Amino acid sequence: MKLQCWKCGIKLQEMRTPYSRYEECSACKADQHVCLMCKEYDPALSDACREDRADYVLEKDKANFCDFFKPRPGAYQQKDDSQALEARARLAELFGEEKPDAEAEQESKAESEADRALKELKRLFGDE
């Protein structure tokens, strides 16, 4: 079974099933025992789960203790950000600002949350 991280799309070759609740993606550190990664996940349903015996899970992207979890190949859905980038460019033009660079947008997304937090701490304490 070829699995990918539901968040970043990297192949999860080193992980063995059954997943423990603590499994993380080695690249983006996203939890992997989550509803979004499960075969039973169906956003068209009211509780987003086809398993009627499963407990309700509020945060579908956070690790949970569901006993019915089965990893789903193809859980990663690449997002199309072209409309958002176009809207940002039009807003920048409207307010007379520089248009955002598409490459800069991609780089900022690639920067991890931990990297941004560390950078902010360094900026606050004058280490940068």
Residues 64 and 98 in one domain: no
15-57 residue pLDDT tens: 666 778 888 988 899 999 999 999 999 999 989 999 999 999 9
Residues 59 and 111 in one domain: no
64-116 residue pLDDT tens: 999 999 998 888 887 777 788 888 888 888 888 876 665 555 555 556 677 77
How far apart are the two ends of the chain, measured CA to CA in Å? 45
Residues 66 and 26 in one domain: yes
Please compute Rg for the chain using Cα positions.
19
So what's the pLDDT on residue 101?
A: 65
Residues 69 and 99 in one domain: no
Residues 86 and 70 in one domain: no
pTM above 0.95, yes or no: no
Residues 42 and 102 in one domain: no
Nearest by Cα to 66 from 47, 84, 48, 53: 53
Residues 74 and 92 in one domain: no
Residues 30 and 93 in one domain: no
So what's the pLDDT on residue 86?
A: 86
Residues 27 and 71 in one domain: yes
State how many domains the chain has.
2
The number of C-alpha atoms within 13 Å of 105 and in the hemisphere containing its C-beta is 14
What number of other Cβ atoms are within 10 A of residue 41's Cβ?
Answer: 21
The CA distances from residue 8 to 4, 29, 31, in Å, are 8, 10, 11
Q: Which domain holds residue 6?
A: 1-78
So what's the pLDDT on residue 91?
A: 87
